[in-house]
Amino acid sequence: MQDRWTRMLGGALCGAACGAALTLSLTAAQAQTPPAPAKAPAAQSPTVKAVPGKPVLLIGGYDLSALGYQASEYFVNGTATSYRLPGAATGDGQWDVTPAAKADYATRIVVILPTDAAKFNGTVLVEWLNVTGGQDTPADWMVAHREIVRKGYGYVAVSAQKVGVEGGDTPMQAGGKPLKVSSPERYGSLSHPGDAFSYDIFSQAGALLKAPGASGLLGSLMPRRVVALGESQSAAFLTTYVNAVDPLAKVYDGFLVHSRFGSSAAVDGSRMIEGPGAMPKHVRFRRDLRVPVLTVITETDLLGARLSGYHASRQPDTDRLRVWEIAGAAHADGYLFGGSFIDSGLRSNAELARIFVPSTRSMAGAMDKPYNPGMTQHYVVQAALAGLDGWLRSGKAPASTPRLELATGGTEGVAPTLAVDANGLAKGGIRTPWVDVPTMRMTGYGNSGSFVAMLAGVGEAFDAAKLAQLYPQGKADYVGRFDKALDAAIRAGHILPEDRAEIAEIAAINFGAQPQSGPAATPAAH
């Protein structure tokens, strides 16, 4: 169980190690005579086949049926198109691609739906599965599944990239097994032609859900909204999808781009790291977005971790872009390290409280400092999902949010650092009670001791003297202030009202808690 969880976790960590050598810039003559607008590839008609039995996808150590949901798996066979840029990729994301080659593919998708059709809320979330650890990992399901289940979303996981199906080199060698290795009898017939075709494969998956009868994938359900989402490396691919492919494909009604670094994936699907001859270090979303895009950025993503940070990719909000930069959040955290695997929504708050006590040990290795426990990211991403869905339903965008304050950097060539308060917590950004009424220093940076540590941030609990200084009247003083800050975050739309009671009780339970000697919560322990 521990090895399996380590492989799964690896796929959800580190992400956008993408980029590629691209063709030369437009010549002066080409620049003077713009090419005719590209057309989308001819309509494809992939075939869909239901596959009996349990899919290979670690969505959690709990029974979906107890939550009123069920999972089904389908094989999708079709012909996908790759794309090419007429010149080098530019940092503004205004990429006009043209169709290139074609190749046959056979991949799989997993569909998770309410067992009671009356509970379906009309929105289907389509996740680009993360493959950084060598296997498919549903990173956004892991972070936001509580909100997905309680609100009646449909969820579809797409094996869009080659590594998840066939295997291959990954930025993080976590020992994960691709589908054809983990279960050759079940998945031996699958075939992926390479990541250059991943964008169109993802388009075709979304289009199937909008086809009459949703191509049989959703039973009697017909979605009113189909939303794409992806975290880390998948967010890098979605950034390229939004900039280059969405203007042609016109499939998805909105995008949740979660935890991207500064660059994005290569149009040709190669996996080179950013740098000379590869993608620009800093890529913005194109100015003329077709549909709403909400991107969630942690402190780690903003500053960078081996890969360049988002700080120099910043751009103002527009009528179709919202950027949420979360104070006190790390790219990977305690909730990802184990909490998401056991948190079905049916456990007691006392059990959940243990998830959010930091440790120096995780299923992904030891760290020199206790890791970020993850409350900020888990609860705020759930609110981001609700905010995007509400935007699509009403046409009214969430309010723009403050950006995290930088003490240094923000431009090319200047190392960024965050402005912090007297408690060592970031200023600006999305505010939550954990940073405004703190019991620990929570960051998205500053750890060491393993590969994962650079993504895990820090969660250093304050000692008794520090807590007494902050809250002279003790626990009751803390709880009163925390509740006010919690209500402020709910009013701002950054925490959901449904989470209030749980958050408040967990905070009261964990007041004064010190780091654990082992992982906060592991599948093996539950």
pLDDT digits (tens, 9 = 90+) for 204-238: 999 999 999 999 999 999 999 999 999 999 999 99
Residue with tokens 């969660």: 459
Residue 352 has pLDDT above 70, yes or no: yes
Cβ neighbours of 399 (radius 10 Å): 11
Domain boundaries, the chain: 46-291, 406-525
**CA distances (Å), 336 to each of 362, 444, 458, 502, in order?**
10, 14, 14, 18
Residue 329 has pLDDT above 90, yes or no: yes
Average pLDDT score over residue span 12-31: 30
Three-state SS string over 125-185 comes to: EEEECECCCCCCECHHHHHHHHHHHHCCCEEEEECCCHHHHHCCCCCCCCCCCCHHHHCHH
The whole-angstrom separation of Cα 287 and Cα 291 is 11
Three-state SS string over 365-387 comes to: EECCCCCCCCHHHHHHHHHHHHH
Q: What is the mean pLDDT of the chain?
A: 89
CA angle 228, 232, 191 (to 5 degrees): 70
Cβ neighbours of 289 (radius 10 Å): 18
At 279, give phi and psi (nearest 5°): -70, 155
Q: Give the lowest-confidence range in 45-59, 407-421, 434-448, 479-493.
A: 407-421
Q: Which residues pair with 168 in a beta bridge?
A: none
The whole-angstrom separation of Cα 338 and Cα 361 is 11
Q: Is 350 helix (H, G, I), strand (E, B) or coil?
A: helix
The whole-angstrom separation of Cα 95 and Cα 35 is 13
Model confidence at 409, in pLDDT bands (50, 70, 90)? confident
- pLDDT, residue 523, reads 36
Cα–Cα nearest to 7, from 182, 156, 229, 195 = 182
Q: Is 232 helix (H, G, I), strand (E, B) or coil?
A: coil
The whole-angstrom separation of Cα 362 and Cα 8 is 13
Please tell me whether the overall predicted TM-score, pTM, comes out greater than 0.95 for this model: no
Supply the Cα-derived Rg of the chain in whole angstroms.
22
β-strand pairing of 98-114 with 69-84:
antiparallel
Residue 15 has pLDDT above 70, yes or no: no
- pLDDT, residue 21, reads 26
Name residues whose C-beta falls within 8 Å of residue 23's C-beta, 6 or more positions apart in sequence. Answer: 84, 85, 86, 87, 88
Q: Is 104 helix (H, G, I), strand (E, B) or coil?
A: strand
Q: Which two tokens stand for residue 413?
A: 């060539």
Chain centroid to Cα 68, Å, comes to 24
Residue 299 has pLDDT above 90, yes or no: yes
217 DSSP assignment:
T
The whole-angstrom separation of Cα 83 and Cα 99 is 5
Burial class (CB in 10 A: 0-12, 13-18, 19+), 448: exposed
Name residues whose C-beta falls within 8 Å of residue 147's C-beta, 6 or more positions apart in sequence. Answer: 153, 382, 385, 386, 496, 498
Task: Give the torsion sign (CA, 9, 14, 16, 19).
Answer: negative
The whole-angstrom separation of Cα 248 and Cα 256 is 19
The whole-angstrom separation of Cα 40 and Cα 245 is 9
User: What is the share, in percent, of the chain residues with pLDDT greater than 70?
Assistant: 87
In one-letter notation, the amino acid at residue 245 is V
- pLDDT, residue 16, reads 33
pLDDT tens column, 450-474 = 888 999 999 999 999 999 999 999 9
pLDDT tens column, 479-509 = 999 999 999 999 999 999 999 999 999 999 9
Cα–Cα nearest to 202, from 255, 126, 259 = 126
In one-letter notation, the amino acid at residue 177 is K
318 DSSP assignment:
B
